[in-house]
Amino acid sequence: MTETRRVEFQLLGHTLTVRTAESPDHIRALAKYIDERVTALKRSGVKDPMTALELAALDITDELFKARDDSSRDRGDIDKRLSALVAVLEKATPKESA
């Protein structure tokens, strides 16, 4: 079983604490990434911090979904290539006579 610990971090000027098995550095890197995305949206003209946070969440979720789709597609391509390779090897390999 993985041990959880309390990790304190800053997000959008607020101090938050979570219990997690992840490393404190990892959690803080996630918070920093969100901060950077929200800051970029604010610089582009989004005035309300909550709207910026919601738009950042939507954008990050979009990235996640696209990455999952790409990963699934890549796995499918690999499976097709492996199947083709197995077929070629089966044709090239002499069959044992019974």
Domain residue limits, the chain: 5-92
Question: Rounded to the nearest 10 degrees, what angle do helices 24-43 and 49-92 cross at?
Answer: 120
Closest alpha carbon to 11 in 47, 45, 65, 50:
50
Distance CA 49, CA 46 (A): 8
Q: What is the pTM of this model?
A: 0.68
- The amino acid present at 57, given as its one-letter code, is A
- Which of the pair, 23 or 69, is modelled with greater confidence? 23
pLDDT digits (tens, 9 = 90+) for 3-38: 999 999 999 899 999 999 999 999 999 999 999 999
pLDDT digits (tens, 9 = 90+) for 34-57: 999 999 999 999 999 999 999 999
- The amino acid present at 67, given as its one-letter code, is A
